[in-house]
């Protein structure tokens, strides 16, 4: 009998979660289109481009974002229904504990969390890349570059390069200074009015510049024209954006963070927080399953309004806490790991406490 109840709960959760997720995504698309329709028209985007390049690529990300709320609504709806029909009371009277009854909920939450985690690791980044490219072309205010001017990078242990300005569209750097150190002294300085990235050879080419080589007796200087500059830095290291992490798979994102550490770029905590938040986000699905089940197992005189208000309140506080802690992690006030995991730890303890306190 218990296996039948498990299957019943699992498939009901699946159907309601899918329905709620579809409704939320449709509402979001309608609201987003009404807000951005003027930009679409002004920039000349066709309906086919809007649907194919933007919204179809946005749906996987929206599924990730709304999945905790959809699962929470499903848990509350099914459990409240079973509570009002006294089905939970009847099940407990047969000797089945409330902890045992929570297993199909937790198993469903784990399945959804694993699915979302896999999508976020390997599928969503590709769709995000296409969507963000569309936003840069057809939506105003979508420039999210981190490094705009005064860019400094450590090319190696003994070399530093600075860019007064870097143009991401042409892969060109302006007013570039390349310093080579020998112990504590500058050994070589290259000043370039402009350098360009050459895709065919994967090298940087100096357009116009000069080179000074320092010796004990003085220094030698020569002018440079169309000469190669050996740098370990590639264009991706200079065109960093706040949305980079969301366009990379988990392995690519880890390599990206490692490359930022290697080149000595600033602002490394922001991509770390973004990545750790992405990786820990599916935990919220399991946690809201526990909270939704624990809240709805007891009959209340206030009726369904209490459960709806409780679910919305939990979702709002949970999401707000995740967003509040992220800036502190990005600023370095808190460690990136703590900023990403602390809200989940708080609500995990809350869910466990509610489940323990529920009438058995």
**pLDDT above 60: residue 1:** no
Q: Provide CB contacts within 8 A for 315, sequence distance 6+.
A: 68, 69, 72, 288
CA distance 88 to 286: 21
* R_g of the chain computed on alpha carbons: 27
**pLDDT above 90: residue 37:** yes
CA distance 75 to 307: 10
Q: DSSP characters for 301-324?
A: TTTHHHHHHHHHHHHHHHHHHHHH
Among residues 236, 158, 172, the alpha carbon closest in space to that of 204 is found at 172
CB 360 within 8 A of CB 97: yes
- Residue labelled with tokens 């309906």: 47
Q: What is the pLDDT of residues 173-230, one digit of tens each?
A: 999 999 999 888 899 999 999 999 999 999 999 999 999 999 887 889 999 988 999 9
Q: What is the pLDDT of residues 243-263, one digit of tens each?
A: 899 999 999 999 989 888 877
Phi, psi for residue 101 in degrees, rounded to 5: -70, -25
Tell how strand 185-198 and strand 172-182 pair up. antiparallel
- Identify the pLDDT of residue 141: 60
- Identify the pLDDT of residue 152: 87
* Reported pTM: 0.85
CA distance 72 to 89: 22
Q: What is the pLDDT of residues 300-354, one digit of tens each?
A: 776 677 887 887 888 899 989 999 999 999 888 999 999 999 999 999 999 999 9
- Identify the pLDDT of residue 32: 95
- Identify the pLDDT of residue 95: 86
Q: Provide CB contacts within 8 A for 342, sequence distance 6+.
A: 325, 334
CA distance 62 to 358: 33
Number of neighbouring beta carbons within 10 Å of residue 13: 25
Q: What is the pLDDT of residues 67-124, one digit of tens each?
A: 999 999 999 999 999 988 889 888 888 888 899 999 999 999 999 999 999 999 999 9
CB 242 within 8 A of CB 270: yes
CA dihedral 222, 227, 240, 252 (to 10 degrees): -130
- Identify the pLDDT of residue 139: 87
Report which DSSP code applies to 246. G
Burial class (CB in 10 A: 0-12, 13-18, 19+), 35: exposed
- Residue labelled with tokens 């370095």: 332
């Amino acid at each position: 009998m218990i296996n039948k109840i498990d299957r019943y709960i699992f498939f009901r959760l699946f159907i309601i979660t899918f329905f709620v997720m579809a409704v939320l995504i449709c509402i979001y698309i309608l609201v987003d289109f009404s807000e951005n329709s003027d930009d679409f028209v002004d920039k000349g985007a066709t309906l086919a481009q809007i649907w194919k390049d933007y919204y179809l690529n946005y749906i996987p990300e929206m599924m990730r974002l709304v999945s905790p709320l959809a699962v929470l609504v499903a848990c509350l709806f099914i459990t409240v229904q079973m509570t009002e029909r006294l089905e939970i009371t009847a099940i407990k009277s047969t000797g089945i504990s409330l902890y045992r009854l929570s297993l199909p909920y937790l198993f469903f939450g784990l399945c959804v969390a694993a699915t979302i985690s896999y999508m976020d690791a390997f599928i969503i980044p590709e769709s995000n890349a296409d969507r963000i490219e569309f936003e840069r072309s057809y939506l105003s205010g979508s420039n999210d570059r981190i490094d705009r001017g005064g860019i400094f990078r450590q090319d190696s242990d003994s070399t530093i390069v600075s860019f007064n300005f870097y143009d991401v569209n042409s892969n060109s750097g302006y007013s570039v200074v390349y310093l080579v150190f020998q112990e504590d002294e500058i050994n070589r300085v290259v000043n370039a009015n402009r350098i360009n990235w050459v895709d065919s050879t994967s090298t940087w080419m100096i357009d116009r510049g000069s080179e000074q080589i320092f010796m004990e007796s003085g220094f030698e200087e020569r002018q440079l024209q169309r000469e190669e500059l050996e740098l370990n830095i590639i264009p991706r290291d200079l065109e960093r954006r706040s949305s980079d992490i969301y366009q990379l798979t988990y392995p690519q994102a880890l390599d990206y963070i490692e490359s930022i550490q290697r080149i000595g770029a600033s602002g490394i905590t922001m991509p770390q927080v973004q990545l750790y938040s992405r990786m820990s986000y599916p935990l919220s699905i399991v946690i809201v399953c526990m909270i939704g089940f624990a809240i709805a197992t007891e009959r209340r005189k206030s009726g369904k309004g209490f459960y709806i208000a409780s679910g919305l309140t939990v979702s709002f506080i949970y999401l707000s806490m995740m967003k509040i802690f992220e800036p502190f992690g990005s600023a370095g006030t808190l460690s990136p790991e703590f900023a990403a995991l602390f809200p989940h730890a708080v609500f995990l303890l809350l869910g466990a406490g509610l489940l323990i306190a529920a009438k058995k």
